[in-house]
Structure 1
Amino acid sequence: MTTMTTMKSISYKNIASPKGFKATGIHCGIKHKKKDLALLVSEVPASVAGVFTTNAIQGAPLIVTKEVVQKTGKMQAIIINSGIANSCTGKQGIIDAYTMQEKTAEKLGIEPNLVGVASTGVIGEMMKMDSLIAGIQKLNPIDELEGAIGFAQAIMTTDTVTKNTSYKTIIDGKEVIIAGTAKGSGMIEPNMATMLGFISTDANIESNHLQEALKSITDITFNSITVDGDTSTNDMVIVMANGLAENNTLTPEHLDWANFVQTLHAVSQDLAKMIAKDGEGSTKLIEVEVQGAVTDAEARIVAKKVVGSPLVKTAIFGADANWGRIIAAVGYSGAKLDPYAITIYIGTTKVVENGEPVPFSEEDLFIYLKQHEVKIIVELHQGDGEGIAWGCDLTYDYVQINATYRS
């Protein structure tokens, strides 16, 4: 495989920017005023890959979409609504999810088994099918920025900003674009969580290899974020690759395979960090980097324990350099540790060395912790394992948002 990359970020962050993709988002009546129905469609059936929530209770749309990914291996469109999750809605919920699939297929003139379905919002409420069916008939996807913006807005729930990114790379001398849009703000504790991620690319790749690429980066991107420790019922990341860039079919043996995986990783990491940063009520993005663990997997476990600790999160919110909370989270992570070999940095300031306190300026760290992005480094000195996790602070607003979510 080549060791060089031609990856470049694209200034126009557009889910419809890869060749052959169109998108739109409208208000259909599930929400009071905001957009609540979105559609992403490819000109031709695309190879598809997906990762899904590990919650044993799974929403009806997720069941339908898993069937498309795992049985069909191709997807040409995905319909998404926000406001109602269609989860814990019994047999009627399954019927409603299949109806969304069928009505979208009819609208587009394609087979139902080429249509994925996603829903996000309140659990346990029945779908407003009259509004949804009427809305599907009004959808008019376009390959322009306006359509992509509408798509990103229509999948939001408690998100405060849309989340979009895209990169281009060169494969077989052809420009290949990978673009992504996501939603997620609360109940974020992947494997997955209340998050939806949609990635489009014009790369030519078979579904099994696309699944392999997605799986290889999921643990170090989408599964390395946490907001509040909850795991939701509906969440998924879907990648569609329609092949219209006309590169030679990508496989792990392809000379540009590393380019493709690195670009897909960049899109996934961008979306994951955007979700973590936009945690409900949050004011800061927290990045925890763990070095010197026995394995990379253990390093990621430690990083997620630290970034997910309510005590660490509230300390960061209050700009309190309380490193005791950090080392306590390291201690209960379950990773192999030597308490007298742990070193901790907050930003560039060393606060612990070999398990013992190091003098530091409280005033300087208070100023640092007031920033919108905070980094914590934990060195374990047990091996070569490394891992990073992202999260956010825990604020008064988080409680307010979730105390009145259905109001």
Structure 2
Amino acid sequence: MRVTLPLRSVLAGGLAVGTLVVGGAPAHAVDQECSAIRADNTDPTTAERVGSPVQLLQIDEAQRIVAESGKEPGEDVVVAVLDSGVAKNDFMFVGQGDSFSKTPKDAVPLEMQGTAVAGLIAAKGGEDQSIGIAPGAVIFDVKIYDRFTTDDPDTESEPDVGALLGALRYIAGLEKGTVDVVNISVALRHSEELDAELDEVLEDLADKDIVVVAATGDRPEEADPLYADFGYDGEEPPHGEDARKVIWPASDPHVLAVNASATVLVDDEVVPGDAFDSVLRSSATDVAAPTSDAVSVAMDGESTCLLPEVSTAWATAEVSGVVALLRSYYPDESAQQIVERIKRTATGSPRAGTTLTGHGVVQPVEALQRPLPAEGDAAGSRIVDPPDERAERPQPEPDLLASTKRNAVWWGLLAGGGLVVAVLLRPVLARRRD
């Protein structure tokens, strides 16, 4: 079993464990956005629809495959969510870890992102509505920031590299096997001063067989600290944009970096979208996932709600859920092998990536069913799109029979010439015989 005794002890100690009472709370059906439901909401609601990403990624079929092995999808897997905190709720098991924000670890979260992220990974849905991709997984809540929803500046904090570094060190210090997946749905400006420490802690997590999944970054708005790096005028992002030079931890080679696809399902029809204005281009991108009109869990702990936007935060959570599914189904495979499955079965190329979708959109069913490549047959490195380079005239492929063809032409000319000479000389030779 992958959930080891130390974390089971934490959960048994009563640290913010969610009691699952799915469907037990009174609620009326309405599709309300998660950002509109506060923690003190007293009128629980239920989103009627099945989330578009759940349908596009064929999550029901992926969960069925895992269930046929005798396991609940995500069972025996612990996913650490390093975010704004996860509200106590009726939809998933939540173990409370340390807090690296300004508020105590058991305080009510001030922002909905951490709860929504955890719901996309592991929320249990109803009989006809999947919510979380790996509902059998345990969420390990590690708060790294609070923001935006309080008038008290002493409790507000933005995500920063120092807090995230502290949280990663905390995870790396746990006994090996305690955590299987780390989800980081925030994108931060890289710190050159902490470069060596950042790389070291991620290498430690890799050595502990932990898959770290991180966002490549949404396109910032003017209030965002990253706007100075990635703000732009006009309708298109600048040519040659590459967030890998700035964004951490997605830029680190020990991380599975995730971008968001804008594809959505409308009236059972797949509608491709344009993610240029929503996300950053990054050569760090490994894979992508669709996010528009996802369904997750609200801050009140009883409602389900919509996430309508294209966001790498939600895409990262979905890929973490897929990783949890795979780790549950293939408990003996290493973190590296699990990542290899995801890259190899994405919709694009396993060897050449793009700055928007990497190796392609994740395909959970394929990842579960396709045999793993032979050891040492790697998926290849991340590749930067060259959008600004002038296209070169294609060079003709070498003709391996060119020499033979030239010889044939010369022999043909000689033979033809001989025939002409013979025709011309025939009357002369005939008179001589006479």
TM-score for the superposition, normalised by structure 2: 0.27
The structure with the greater share of residues assigned to strand is 1
TM-score for the superposition, normalised by structure 1: 0.28
